[in-house]
Chains A and B, each alone.
Chain A
Amino acid sequence: MHLPYLALEANAPLPSPSAVVEHGRILLADQAASEAGVTQGVGVAAARMLAPTIALLMREPAREAAALQRLACWAGGLTPKISLTADTLLLEIGSCLRLFGGVRNIVRAAAKGVREQGFSLTCAVAPTPLGAQWLAQTAKSACCLDAESLHRHLAGLPISVLPDKAAQALARFGARTLGGVRRLPSAALARRIGAPALQLMARAFGEIADPRPAFVFPEQFALVLQLPAAVDNAGALLFAARRLTAALAGWLSARQAGVRAMALHLRQRQGETLLSLEFAELTADEERFERVLRERLNTLTLNSPVESLALVATTVAALAGRSQTLFDDASSGNEAIAPLLERLCARLGEEQVYRVVAHADHRPECATRRTGPFDKSAKVGQPAPGTGQGLARPLWLLDAPESLREVDGRPFRGGPLQLLAGPERIESGWWDGGEQQGDLRRDYFIALASDARWLWIYRECRSPAHWYLHGVFA
Chain B
Amino acid sequence: MKTALSLADILARPDVWCADRLAPSPLPTLASGFAPLDGELPGGGWPRATLAEILVDGSGLGECSLVLPALGRLRSEGRWSLLIAPPHRVNGPAWAAHGVDLTRLAVVAPARPRDALWAAEQALASGALGSLLLWAPCVDAAQVRRLQVAAAGSNTVAFLFRPARAQSESSAAGLRLLLSAAARGSLAVNLLKRRGPPCTRTLIIEPQRPLCENDKSHEFHDSGPAVAGFASAVSGARSQRTLAFA
Contacts and interface: CB of A to CB of B under 8 A. Distances in A.
Contacts, number: 192
A403 interface: no
Given A396-B91, A420-B220, A358 B233 contact: no
A397 B88 contact: yes
Nearest to B101: A380
B87 interface: yes
Interface string A335-350: 0110111011001100
B109 A368 contact: no
A27 B108 CA distance: 56
A321 interface: no
Nearest to B94: A393
Interface string B54-83: 000011111111000000000001111000
Given A340-B123, A395-B94, A420-B220, A356 B107 contact: yes
Interface stretch (B11-19, B110-118, B142-150, B190-198): B110-118
Contacts of B65: 395, 473-474
A443 B223 CA distance: 10
Interface stretch (B1-9, B37-45, B125-133, B167-175): B125-133
Interface string B209-246: 11100010011100100110110011001001100000
B92 A449 contact: no
Interface stretch (A168-176, A177-185, A326-334): A326-334
Given A336-B128, A356-B105, A472 B59 contact: yes
Given A397-B89, A419-B233, A421-B211, A455 B60 contact: yes
Contacts of B202: none
Given A454-B62, A473-B60, A383 B96 contact: yes
Given A340-B123, A348-B108, A348-B119, A474 B60 contact: yes
A330 B96 CA distance: 22
A146 interface: no
A396 B86 contact: yes
A421 B89 contact: no
A17 B134 CA distance: 52
Residue from the set B96, B118, B129 with the largest chain A CB neighbour count within 10 Å: B96
A213 B126 CA distance: 45
A408 interface: yes
Contacts of B138: none
B91 A474 contact: no
A452 interface: yes
Nearest to A454: B60
Interface in A404-423: 408-410, 416, 418-423
Given A367-B91, A445-B220, A453-B61, A418 B237 contact: yes
Contact of B92 (A381, A408, A410, A453): A381
Contacts of B128: 333-334, 336-337, 339-340
A454 B107 contact: no
Interface of A is mostly: mixed
B102 interface: yes
Contact of B181 (A356, A399, A452): A452
Interface of B is mostly: mixed
Nearest to A390: B218
Nearest to A461: B226
Given A336-B126, A446-B210, A474-B65, A358 B60 contact: no
A474 B233 contact: no
Contacts of B107: 353-356
Nearest to A425: B223
Contacts of A340: 122-123, 126, 128-129
A358 B92 contact: yes
Contacts of A399: 88-89
Nearest to A355: B106
Contacts of A331: 78
B108 A395 contact: no
Contacts of A358: 92-93, 96, 102
A10 to B, nearest CB: 37
A396 B109 contact: no
A473 B209 contact: yes
A408 B227 CA distance: 11
B96 A396 contact: no
A330 B30 CA distance: 14
A394 interface: yes
Contacts of A145: none
B63 A474 contact: yes
A148 interface: no
A471 interface: yes
A373 interface: yes
Contacts of B200: none
Interface of A: 330-331, 333-334, 336-337, 339-341, 343-344, 347-348, 352-359, 364, 367-369, 373, 380-381, 383, 387, 391-399, 408-410, 416, 418-424, 443, 445-446, 449, 451-455, 465, 471-474
13 contacts: A330-B130, A333-B80, A334-B78, A343-B122, A344-B123, A355-B105, A369-B92, A381-B92, A395-B95, A396-B86, A410-B233, A420-B241, A446-B210
Given A339-B128, A396-B89, A446-B218, 7 more contacts: A348-B119, A356-B92, A358-B102, A373-B106, A395-B95, A422-B218, A453-B61
The 10 A-B residue pairs whose C-beta atoms are closest, nearest first, are A409-B229, A452-B181, A453-B60, A336-B128, A474-B64, A396-B88, A368-B92, A392-B210, A393-B94, A421-B218
